[in-house]
Structure 1
């Protein structure tokens, strides 16, 4: 019988961190940040509280890592939907739809758009957003030539990002997905203007 390969310390560390992040995510979604304790998380992950504090400073630090993982997953979905061969316009529209789809993962909107700002503060959430999906949006706006020479690309990106976040909140609250998606794409199409003929 073949002997199972021995895991390295790094692999064990990553496995433990991932177990804590996944257990914490599930509890933060079902119970909320305030009603989730570190003992709850440790029990759900099958890990001691001491191990939790070995990997994370405190509950807030663990929450931050949960949110970062969620934000990175959204960005990965946007990037997967916008391969380089798409026209800048098509990439921006497809990336927008990918964002709305990615935010429909159960609990994600609550984590990133409701609990995140309340727990970590708006400045930290905006910095996290700037490093992930907002960065993808700015790149898409730049490639599509939106606002060039007329308005600040950063300001335009922040305003459109806020509109997308509001759309995600509307969908999460039970609004008709098709209607919200259609309205967001209509808004973006108008902002892009008429497609130039080649």
Structure 2
């Protein structure tokens, strides 16, 4: 029993340390950008040692990837929470679009996921991160809304990818001052046309 408590305690300490590193890195990546953030800056902000950082992350790029994955997971969780109850699949897609726009209003998230993410990790890695998170929920929603006539997996994946790109562009434009309502209505029109096709 004591050994199990010790393992749990070690795991909890490890999780706490990892979270502190991620939080400090996120703050610095958002305010300074990836290029202008050093690992000594991150450990100083986290109040930890470089050894602790390198115990959890291979290098700064791996740390950035973990930050991006956590952000993408938070976006997907926001969408899933907003679309959890009593909606038709088509309604869920439209509500999910609005939830995506709301989730992307979190300070720094656009920079991390849409601007610095592709520059630091490369487009393919960011596509993979998105595919495991928000784009996954989008593809599932399209399949449900188009059932029983949903297209084959490859075409459905292409549709989700294109719609996801439209969401990202809309989020960028909204962040620059465009009307969220107009973009939400326009995305809704795209969803209606895709689902009805």
TM over 0.5: yes
Q: Deviations over 1:92-148 (max 9, x none)?
A: 111111111111111101100110010001111101111110000000000000773
Q: In the alignment, is residue 133 of structure 1 matched against residue 134 of structure 2?
A: yes
- Distance, in Å, in 1 between the alignment partners of 2:38 and 2:22 is 13
Moved more, 79-88 or 129-138: 79-88
How many pairs align? 190
When the two structures are superposed, what TM-score results if normalisation uses the length of structure 1? 0.89
Q: Deviations over 1:158-182 (max 9, x none)?
A: 1101100100111122222222223
Alignment of 1:72-83 (within 5 A): 72-83=73-84
- Distance, in Å, in 2 between the alignment partners of 1:67 and 1:102 is 14
Unaligned runs of 5+ in 2: none
Task: Give secondary structure in 2 for the equivalent of 1:69.
Answer: helix
- Distance, in Å, in 1 between the alignment partners of 2:69 and 2:41 is 21
- Distance, in Å, in 2 between the alignment partners of 1:137 and 1:86 is 15
1:86 Cα deviation from its structure 2 partner = 1.8
Moved more, 29-38 or 144-153: 144-153
Alignment of 1:27-66 (within 5 A): 27-66=28-67
When the two structures are superposed, what TM-score results if normalisation uses the length of structure 2? 0.89
Correspondence for 1:85? 86
- Distance, in Å, in 1 between the alignment partners of 2:17 and 2:70 is 15
Q: Which has the higher helix share?
A: 2
Alignment of 1:142-181 (within 5 A): 142-145=143-146, 148-149=150-151, 152-181=155-184
1:192 Cα deviation from its structure 2 partner = 3.2
Measured on the aligned residues, the alpha-carbon RMSD in Å equals: 2.1
Correspondence for 1:185? 188
Task: Give secondary structure in 2 for the equivalent of 1:80.
Answer: helix
Task: Give secondary structure in 2 for the equivalent of 1:178.
Answer: helix
In 2 relative to 1, CA 17–149 (structure 1 residues): closer, same or farther, beyond 3 Å? closer
Moved more, 147-156 or 25-34: 147-156
